[in-house]
Amino acid sequence: MIDRRTSLRRTFELHVPLAMIVAFALFPYLWMVLTSVKPDADILQWPLRYWPSQLTHEHYVTLLARTSFAANMGNSLIVAVGATAVGLAAAIPAAYAFSRFRFPGRRALLVGFLTANMFPIVLLILPIFVLMRMLGLLDTFVGVIAGHATFAIPFSIWMLTSYFAAIPIELDEAATIDGASRLQAIRLVILPVAMPGIVTTAIYIFITSWNEYLFAMMLAGQDVRTVTVALQLFIGEFSIQWGLLTAGGTLVALPATILFLIIQKRLTGGLTAGAVKS
């Protein structure tokens, strides 16, 4: 009897609230998917129709065949992958240096990296826009990738520093004793051990770049238009193309969802690897 009461109490105090929170969080996505497969008549019907009278893929066909949304998704993929590569190329050596060496201003720099993420990115957009215009990088992949990497690198360095700091320095010393150089020790010993943290950081940069809107809107034009900017085009002054908008939103959410499903175990290991150290 006591075990049954304990189990029942745990269900109502823990499982039921968690189920309600998950349902509340997933409902907007479910509603978006349902709306994307509704005919236009069902979308505009009043009173509101929750379940479509018939499933249709006309919005997806129109979106991919009659608009430039497929090309925009390709642009977003190029920008996100490029920002991830640039971010990791800058964050990995910087984080290793912060975790292994002690030099004047080290703590101030780490605090500065963290503080930079406390301010809205809108404060950076004007100077970056002026700089990109002077360099002739507006509406180019290089310009958008550089803009996305600008706000992704500081927090990435902070994240990776904690992962590298959790790796015993004795591994570096053992590799050096065996004849490896500093770069060989990093490549052959440290990076494989820190791979969960690197994967986690790469996911952070990729998702941040994929979902970013302000930099993509200001630094890109028709040639390098990303999906976040393309979705905004379906919202007019007097009407909203709900079918195309929800179909586009569903397609935009797919890469992040698939990415999490594929590397879920590695991501979980990365999120729990070590504590924040400085």
Answer yes or no: is pLDDT of 66 > 80.
Answer: yes
**Cα radius of gyration rounded to whole Å, the chain:** 23
In the chain, where are the structural domains located? 2-43, 59-271
The model's pLDDT over 6-61, given as tens digits with 9 standing for 90+, comes to 777 777 777 788 888 988 888 888 888 888 888 888 888 787 777 888 888 888 98
* Sequence-distant (≥ 6) Cβ neighbours of residue 238 within 8 angstroms: none
The model's pLDDT over 173-221, given as tens digits with 9 standing for 90+, comes to 888 888 888 888 888 888 888 888 888 889 889 988 998 888 888 888 8
Q: In which residue are the tokens 């590799």 written?
A: 175
Q: Which residue has the higher pLDDT, 276 or 173?
A: 173
Q: What is the pLDDT of residue 274?
A: 45
* Sequence-distant (≥ 6) Cβ neighbours of residue 200 within 8 angstroms: 159, 267, 270, 271
Q: What is the pLDDT of residue 142?
A: 92
Nearest-5° Cα angle at 240, 237 to 243: 160
Q: What is the pLDDT of residue 276?
A: 43
CB 208 within 8 A of CB 259: no
Phi and psi torsions of 240, nearest 5°? -125, 130
CA distance 126 to 9: 55
Answer yes or no: is pLDDT of 277 > 60.
Answer: no
Q: What is the pLDDT of residue 197?
A: 85
CATH superfamily of 59-271: MetI-like (1.10.3720.10)
Q: In which residue are the tokens 């803009």 written?
A: 147
The model's pLDDT over 142-153, given as tens digits with 9 standing for 90+, comes to 999 998 888 888
In terms of Cα–Cα distance, which of 187, 202, 214 is closest to 259?
A: 202
Specify the pTM: 0.82
Residue 80: pLDDT band with limits 50, 70, 90:
very high
